[in-house]
Structure 1
Amino acid sequence: MRPGGNRGWLLRLVIAFGFAQGAVSMARPAVSYRALALGADEGAVGVIAGVYALLPLFVAVPLGRRTDHGRCAPLLPVGVVLISGGCALSGVADSLAAMAAWSGVMGLGHLCFVIGAQSIVARQSAPHEQDRNFGHFTIGASLGQLVGPIAAGALIGGRDMAGTSALALLVAAAGAAVACTSLWRIEHRTAPTSRAKDAERVPVHRILRTRGVPGGIFVSLAVLSATDILTAYLPVVGEHRGIAPSVIGLLLSLRAAATIACRLVMTPMLRLLGRTALLTVTCLLAAVLCAGIAVPVPVWALAVMLAVLGFCLGVGQPLSMTTVVQAAPDGARSTALALRLTGNRLGQVAAPAAAGLVAGVAGVAAPFVMLGALLLLSSATALRSTARPESGTERGAERDTERGAETRAETRAETGTRRGTENGSERGTGAGGVAGARARCRRARASLGRKGDI
């Protein structure tokens, strides 16, 4: 089946991703609440949350290597099983060490699912469809991020924090398992080409030096860091400004809804502006809005800012995926996507730590100024990384065309040689028009002449 021929697989992938991401988004706050109920302090909660992001760092590149030279679909049910198992076992764990371990398993499962899913989208989308399909794919993540925390908040509370958080984790495990119902006929069963099987493994340092790949990774890191810090620190800002937690929850939901809306209209925006201008402008506008959150404004103005900010942040993730995929060397696209996810994980660890230091020194609004500077830098990076004369996909197609032309020329030359041998004349090589073929034809005639003498 040709890439882009039937998008039913994409819809099923979005549904599965929505359930998997919703389970993770529900489980992560539930893990923190359960750890607190088991006697953890703020430092221990930070360690448990960090294990979720740190453990996958060691397996991202090997998983990408495996996916580059094999099928992608097997990673999806493996990821679902690990997410579901990590959620359920976190719900019954009775020690902080066990909570940290199962949090890491959950993060590993999420990584497996995302690498497999992104690789499927990259492999089964025509080059002109990748921006649109990655945009639709990330709608699943946005839906999960919208529903998961709301579901966790509805279940967790009261005096029995340990019991309600355990219930939320078990519900998250069941929600993740539902994703398996959509994992059928997602990957097109096409045999890998001999070139893909025999392709030499591209070194990581070469992938990272390829123009476009580092920029795509950095844009993704900056956008994800902005989303994470916004989720973590907006409640703190609300506490200082006297905004009720219920209002803060609605504001965060508004941000997530705006991100979904952005990805639904990604295709017309790309037609209007193009990838370079769209990515650059949205990162620039997001930088201004993030810095603006540090300014005390009325709640209605904050709602408008967060809605526009969520819309702008919705552009970065899908377009950074396309940037990395099309810039990566042939045979290393899944590895490049894995490196992008590694950058995301590093951002999830480093950005909150940096935000905490900045907030401790300059106040709770200061992290938003830091995010503004980070997004401003990502805007400049996007302008440089995506403004390219040709994409990696176009270069690959060009190389394939050149190889095909060489092969056809050689075939014509050999055909001309055979005809020349059979006819005993130099006219046989006329079709090839190659000096080497004429020489072989002369040698063949000489050989025939010697055989006749004997």
Structure 2
Amino acid sequence: MSGNRPVSRGWFWMLIAAAVLGQIGLNLSRPLISYKVLALGGESLSVGMTSAAYALVPVAAALWLGRVTDRRHSLKGVVAVGSLLLAAGPFVLAVSPSLVLVTMASAILGMGHLCFTIAGQSAIARFVPPGNMDSAFGWFTASFAMGQMIGPLLAGLALGPSQGVPAEVRLIDANTALLMAGFISVFAVPFAFGTAAKHAPTVKPDAAMPTRPDSVAALLRYPTVRTNMVASLALLATTDILVAFLPLLGEDKGVPPVVVGLLLATRAAASIASRLLLPVLLTRWSRRTLVISSLAGAGTTIAILPWLFHVSWMAGLLLAIGGFFLGLGQPITMTLVTQSVPHASRGAALALRLLGNRLGQVTLPAAAGLLAGPAGASGALWMSCAVLAAACILWPPDKPGTG
């Protein structure tokens, strides 16, 4: 981004604060959706379908929203809309009396997450210098992991340590916790309105690069875009499946909700650590090596998890290791996609990456729900491990000078 005027970093920390609060509310809500579905009489298939609905509606809007962010001078409005939807979703969930309305409320949460994520990623791609991009994406995804750590922990505390609670009591507890999630998300909105950068970048066009945005077909012709879409899809879908199906695995293995919440928080804390350590890790290993390690390490540890889930300390250790690897790959894929396409197409490329994530979030949890019927929640986790292994195999051989 040579030729850019200096950009105040205050907007960035406002974005991080909004992300932390919004993601706490989101990730407090999402495990509660599973418990609410069970309390309303749903089964594993219903859990998979509500998780898929979280991603289904945003699929249609992802590319359009990416083009919008490429055209807008300020991304503050899109960030604010995302925060408002993230705040509205838990309130709608809390008052939803049926599985149909719970599924619709899950879609509202998904749309809020999409708006916030695309706008936030596009702002970083536009206003952060290339040399600082890994670190900035690391902080941004670490803020998401912070929400993924605190949210499930609060959900577990809200539902308590008891097993075999009557459905009516579980439903009341879940609705109360969902209201708490909504109020937490509301506090993200003022920060979202402070995310406008003080100066717009003045990028000098590169004669070798087109100034008009690439089409979707053109973006998919970039090998880096394709491979990182697949890697990102596998990592994010696995995280979603853990959030949706660990409560079911806990019910199967006799692990109370408060322990499940602590285990999900452990996974997220390890992801925060890996993302904040990313600048240090990149001094020793290439981006490609770290992404492949992320896929292989996460798949191996999560595959072992169902056999040892009833031993709390072993489950915590496995989720800490797996969480470290799960967190490692996401910010790197953002940087690789951003730097592989022309500046005018960065928002669209990041949206295309996120579209791949959403397609994975639609199909894989639904498939996991179907598999969890005959094979139990363990089968859902093993399916996600198979996807991670496939994404790892699809990466092309390394080339000299790539990183």
Distance 1:191 1:328, change over 3 A: closer
2:55 aligns with 53
List per-residue Cα deviations over 1:140-198 (Å, max 9, x = no partner). Answer: 111111111222333347754444333323222221121123231542431666969x9
Residue equivalent to 2:243: 231
CA distance in 2: counterparts of 1:329 and 1:56, whole angstroms: 25
For residues 30 and 243 of structure 1, the distance between their equivalents in structure 2, rounded to whole angstroms, comes to: 16
**Unaligned segments of structure 1, at least 5 residues:** 392-454
Structure 1 pair 40–358 and aligned structure 2 pair: CA distance change class (3 A): closer
Structure 1 counterpart of 2:342, from 310, 329, 349: 329
- Paired position in structure 1 for 2:122: 119
- Mean CA deviation greater in 36-45 or 346-355: 36-45
Task: Trace 1:286-305 onto structure 2 (pairs within 5 A).
Answer: 286-296=298-308, 299-305=312-318
1:133 aligns with 2:136: yes
Tell me: CA distance 1:20–1:269, structure 2 relative to 1, closer, same or farther (3 Å). Answer: same
| 1:213-264 deviation line (CA, Å, top 9, x unaligned) | 0111111111112222233344444555555554443332221111111112
**Secondary structure of 2:199's aligned partner:** coil
Residue matched to 2:31? 29
Separation in structure 2 between the aligned mates of residue 170 and residue 301 of structure 1, nearest angstrom: 33
TM-score (norm 2): 0.85
Give 1:20 shift: 0.9
Separation in 2 of the partners of 1:3 and 1:358?
53
Describe the shift of the 1:388–1:142 C-alpha distance in structure 2 as closer, same or farther (beyond 3 A).
farther
Contact kept, 8 Å, 1:277 with 1:383, in 2: the verdict is: no
Question: Aligned runs of 1:134-213 on 2, under 5 Å?
Answer: 134-156=137-159, 159-183=168-192, 184-190=194-200, 199-213=211-225
Alignment coverage as a number of residue pairs: 389
CA drift at 1:274: 2.3
Q: Map 1:422-433 to 2 at 5 A.
A: none
Query: What SS does the corresponding residue of 2:223 show, helix, strand or coil?
Result: coil
Relative to the length of structure 1, the TM-score reads 0.76
- Is 1:76 matched up with 2:59? no
1:193 & 1:293 partners in 2: Cα distance? 48
- Structure 2: which 5+ residue stretches go unaligned? none
Is this contact kept in 1: 2:51–2:244, CA < 8 A? no
AA aligned opposite 2:283: R
CA contact (8 A) 1:124 1:188 kept: no
Distance, in Å, in 2 between the alignment partners of 1:44 and 1:241 is: 20
Residues 83, 185 of structure 1: CA spacing in aligned structure 2 closer, same or farther, 3 A cutoff? closer
| Pairs within 5 Å for 1:372-383 | 372-382=385-395
C-alpha change, 1:293 and 1:112, in structure 2 (3 Å) is same
248 and 286 in structure 1: CA distance in 2 versus 1, 3 angstrom threshold: same
Computed over aligned residues only, the root mean square deviation of the Cα atoms, in angstroms, reads: 3.1
Aligned-partner SS, 1:331: helix
Q: In structure 1, which of residues 311, 320, 324 is the aligned counterpart of residue 324 of structure 2? A: 311
Largest Rg, 1 or 2? 1
**1:18 paired to 2:30:** no
1-structure distance, mates of 2:376, 2:173: 33
Give, in whole Å, the separation in 1 of the partners of 2:55 and 2:4.
36
Secondary structure (helix, strand or coil) at the match of 2:26 reads helix
SS of match in other structure, 2:76: coil
Can you list the C-alpha shifts for 1:24-43, whole angstroms capped at 9, x where unaligned? 11222334444555565655
Conserved? CA contact 2:62–2:354, under 8 Å = yes
Among residues 78, 87, 92, which one is paired with 1:89 in the alignment?
Answer: 92
1:60-71 equivalences in 2 (<5 Å): 60-70=62-72, 71=74
Relative to 1, partners in 2 of residues 1:69 and 1:39: Cα closer, same or farther, differing over 3 Å? same
CA distance in 2, matches of 1:207, 1:35: 39
Describe the shift of the 1:146–1:182 C-alpha distance in structure 2 as closer, same or farther (beyond 3 A). Answer: same
Q: What CA distance in whole angstroms lies between the structure 1 residues aligned with 2:65 and 2:17? A: 23
**1-structure distance, mates of 2:19, 2:333:** 18
